[in-house]
Chain A
């Protein structure tokens, strides 16, 4: 459950990135967040993950009040989230298995459980045979799937993906979206930021549109269009 109430975010340099956003995302939803470049999408995501804090208003994520959260509670909140970055952010010196496994080590899971779970999620994202490869030995699409596997491995209630398809070709992008859809069907809330209008229109999902830090549309894709 994600809740934004009259949220404003002004960066230190004075940029007003978010100007009065109200938004509710229920458990189990699949939501596309779209909008032109610089409209504040990444800022919105960072408010959810706790990388930055709102200037005013209320942000609530999985029961945590993000405007008042204690530093010590941050790890607890983040363990309920799975974050996928546009640039994958894999660790080049670790194998695919380790890249996914260390997210579980962070929470202190026992080795046996880690092995079983990592193998399961790697199979889910279609990378069963690549455990021992290194990130740079994989294609962009495959690397993105590793990032998704890592986001998934701790069974988070929400998956947040900031432009997960920004670096891969359209065919691969569709595949990634299908994968996220499949994950959503298993019960996880999914929030995807994307530029790709074509892609959004191939799914009948909720689409939230923002521009210049304001919410300018909220509806089901295919019915709603926006201009970049």
Chain B
């Protein structure tokens, strides 16, 4: 491509956005709507996943130390446990601490009043990075010499994993559906904008323009619309999320819910918005004129 042609394409593409003002606004608005719905949905599912993982982190595995080990030996197991896969935190609870906790829990019950600490065992309270690996961790722990028994609520782990997989699958499917719908709507909007220009395209073909020469200004126009649409959609998503976040933090009902910050997702969202906006803009504008190029 010659450089003077390139400048011409850019100039044509950008002027065209302004020359077809109404259609440009319509295209940008539809793109914004689609992106905001997609982005909002992504943030919603991020929050659901966050809640799940908060709940997950409260799930612990308790590993009881063999009685035959000395206190010293029992405490030294913590290093070994930390080297296991999927271990997030390890907390040693001595038999005395365990007893105190037990007594506090049942302080009204006189039955346990003169209980002997030796009935309790030293234990480790372990949290995981991924609850899905609970069973594997349980097996690993059994293989650590000095661990006598491991308490793990595998059925809860399975429940969480199922919920998490459903949320992930539903959000993936919905995102793809929304993406397909927005490409479809965008392509049709741009098709409308190009309909009025089929004569212009016919003239270009008659004077011997190659298809790529005709396509370039449209591609640049689509690119331009995509950038504007995704930038605006991003700002709206951000602003609205921040407002909702502040509201939720100040409200009594949602105060206990740990919402994700927008900033955690700011960069990937920006990249996704820009990529989707640009791709959808370019693809739909170049497919929209395909029919007019056949002359």
Contact = CB atoms under 8 A, between A and B. Distances in A.
A102 B206 CA distance: 12
B250 interface: no
Nearest to A114: B4
Nearest to A91: B200
Contacts of B8: 105
A150 B200 contact: no
B239 to A, nearest CB: 36
B4 A110 contact: yes
Contacts of A89: 199, 202-203, 206
Interface SS of chain B: helix
A78 B203 contact: no
B19 A78 contact: no
Interface string B1-23: 01011001000000000010000
Given A93-B19, A106-B213, A78 B208 contact: yes
Nearest to B205: A78
A149 to B, nearest CB: 12
A136 interface: no
A154 to B, nearest CB: 7
A227 to B, nearest CB: 33
A103 B19 contact: no
Interface in A80-139: 81, 83, 89, 91, 93, 102-103, 105-108, 110-111
A225 to B, nearest CB: 33
B208 A76 contact: yes
Contacts, number: 46
Interface in A195-214: none
A51 interface: yes
A91 B203 contact: yes
A49 interface: yes
B251 to A, nearest CB: 53
A107 B207 CA distance: 9
A171 B210 CA distance: 38
B206 A49 contact: yes
B4 A154 contact: no
A79 interface: yes
A78 B207 contact: yes
Contacts of B204: 102, 106
A43 to B, nearest CB: 15
Contacts of B5: 105, 108
A151 to B, nearest CB: 8
Given A78-B208, A79-B207, A106-B209, 5 more contacts: A78-B207, A83-B206, A89-B203, A93-B19, A107-B208
Interface of A: 49, 51, 74-79, 81, 83, 89, 91, 93, 102-103, 105-108, 110-111, 150, 154
